[in-house]
Structure 1
Amino acid sequence: MAFDYFVILAEMRTGSNLLESNLNAFDGIECHGELFNTGFLNTPGTESYLGVTFAQREADPWSLMMAARATGARMPGFRLFHDHDPRIWDHVLRDTACAKIVLTRNPLDSYVSRKIAAATNQWKLGDVKNRRQTQVSFDAGEFETHLSRLQSTQIEILNTLQSTGQSAFYIGYDDANDLDVLNGLARWLGLASRIDRLPRALKKQNPEPLDQKLSNPGDVAKALARIDRFDLGRTPNFEVRRGPMLDAAQGGAQTRLLFLPLRGGPEAGVIRWMAALDQVAPEALTTGFDEGRLHRWRRDRAGLRSFTVLRHPLERAYSVFCARIVTGEVAPVRDHMIRLFDTDPTRASSSEDGFRDAFKAYLKFCRASISGQTGLQPWPIWATQAALLDGYARVISPDLVLREEDLAEDLPRLARRLGHDAPPDWTPEREGDSSPTSRPALSEIRDSYITRLVREAYGRDFDTFGFTDL
């Protein structure tokens, strides 16, 4: 694969200085250090590099990148950490002309090494006689934060490479001095040059065992025992990622208010309330948003407040079941329920038992669809509310996440903050908003099995928003 330049994706104390030094031993490779560190250029204390000043780089980071790529080296590159210039970070991850070298190190070793370097103010070692030694204290909370950040960065790198069809060269700290690995890296970069010995400009700073570097080594085992290394407690999420449902958003006719509906929630009632707030018909609210129009609309309304409303997963599922599924409005769901569970929801009896059985089949269908076990991907009306909110967050995150049961207090309070002295009361959804015909009340058919099924289908919402069983 042909590359124009490379980047070493690393973190502090992972051995990036050592790897850079070794790569610069190859003919045709020139690594330019930390070009986009937010505090300096190339190396600490440098305010100008390759004819580009710090101020010029801040205004236009591409000028420094192009200067590095124009130095004449066949393969120029630089080191990049997660907290360097985000403009460059985002660019290089997606640039297929950039070779990604991902350098990793045992997180505990990098954590301790960083603490020692900070304590001694020695970040590189060229001569062993100048080495500074000290012991540092292990802090469990500090380490867990360090570990979480490293993991999220690696996930971001991996997901971006996957979604853009790229691969990277992964190298561990312990292999940064391995001649065979380094020559293999040069081969992967497309270079003909090889090296037969390593430069010795840099030395390992802290070769002692871990327990000799810490003043409280016994605390390490206790902290690690609390960490779920394999993420065994994670709830798997196979739900497809969603885009923002901007076409569903409702803007106030006069009030600086934006409603981001979650399908299956109390959408009609909130829209009526917003219309009453401005004394207009619901049709007078602003709709038809796309990303550009929403940006312009928000820009013209300083002090705008956006909000969404959560509904309990069981009430939401039952509302959709009564209004959209039993009526036969969503034919694909009916077809899947017949094939998968031998249940036709449109023939569900109005008796409690018949309706209860059909609703249970619907919850089983929801779980299968959300888990990616059917060919029918989740529509917004039965997708999780967490997924719908994630979709909105790609463009806009609501200022307020309200709950249906609190709207009688929260909506008038919100209106008063926006200048309405006597806002309309919240009126719960009328009969017919969620079901066109009379159906058994949820309380009449709910049982322990339904409670279990809704938790299985909408576990992500229960975990994310802390819902309890009805």
Structure 2
Amino acid sequence: MTGRFDSFVMFAEMRTGSNLLETHLNAMEGVTCHGEAFNPAFIGYPNRDDILGISKKQREQKPDLLVQAIRNADGLNGFRYFHEHDPRILADIIADERCAKIILTRNPLDSFVSLQIARATNQWKLTHETRRKTSQIEFQPRKYAKFLADLQAFQQDLRGALQRAGQTSFFVDYDDLNSLDVLNGIAAYLGAPTLSALSSELKRQNPAPLSSKVSNYAEMRAALGKVEQIDEQDIASTEPARNAAVPSYIAAAETGLLYHPIPGGPMAKVAHWLAQVDGVATADLLTDFSQKTVRRWKRNRTPNRTFTVVCHPVERAHRVFCERILNVDEASFPVIRQNLIENYDITLPKDGRRSSGYGPNEHRVGFLKFLEFIKANLEGKTSIRVDPNWASQSSILHGFSTFMSPDMVIREAELSDGLAYLSAQVKSTCPALTQPDTSAEFELAEIYDAEVERACREAYQRDYMAFGFSAWKN
């Protein structure tokens, strides 16, 4: 095989799906993955004596011998590399522009639980359903915290090394490993022939939900709030950069208060409050700003303060789901709504209303699927745009900073206190914060549970980390 690459490396960790990805790679014509070629405990696979004529002893003495053998072998050869593998070869393979880099990731909690089960059952691969071994594990917070710290440290080191070397990589997630399109994207990246079908040789070992795999599940959920969660997108964020969205800014009619709205937030509530500050209608608020008119506004109004409001991710996502997807009025997204129905198996009522066929149970299932869609959408894995209504709030706030950062970021749960503080800063009265009339079909409290919280945290890990959100409370 000739092309831009002489070899490849799959950066992964235990229980991220690397065995399955290796099976798919080996199914590509001319491609060979030699397992964990630099695992200190064995060479390639347990009970193997050599790779391409290089023994484990030779590899230990001169690891570059095996690197060269893989580069020079017929076809395109490569191997899996975990953070505990031989560090002596890392700088060489990172610097090698003709070594393709594939980075495989998985939700760290799922990886951790799967790893503990594999150690308990001693089953590391499954080829026949009848041979499946199951076990419940006890979640240990300290062990998980160390697992996360080691994983995050290696990912940060890897990212930095790739950046300094000017290298790019192909990123793939565990959930993509059964997508023929994604696997053929890897084939195209490697310069290999595409696959016509996926191998069914390996089976998923632990398909059951976490609640049935962890004996102290409730204790685990409580402990996770105290353990720093790794940002799975820390290596590379595929969410598009945001601009400052200056035309969306809203200012009080006379008082020096300027609101930077984050779509999906309590925009109507804040606009209503801003109107009350000067005793005017919301139609009299100042809008349609440009960067020039914002600067003019700031010069002409002293003192002045600018602010934005961030929401708990669960509350914001549910608000967006109801207003943009469930509803069928002028504020909804009908094209995206239909796409979600057809391609993401989200069941929605035609009229967007609560009915005997669409109650809280159906709404909860639909919302969970919407959160799954958001996660994939923010990772660049869907054909639908990343709309500002469900873009991460941290990315929108970063967009504000490209022109002018707001003076204050208020959490929605603390909105009354925050607005009172701002009013005092500009020497203004502070009217009571009231909610404009709305006709919500469903309240979040009707459907919220630990599964909803977990799905939202997986979609919005950056926001949970950036703003310090804990679990939403009714």
Q: TM-score, normalised by structure 1?
A: 0.48
Q: TM-score, normalised by structure 2?
A: 0.48
Question: For the pair shown, which has the larger CA radius of gyration, 1 or 2?
Answer: 1
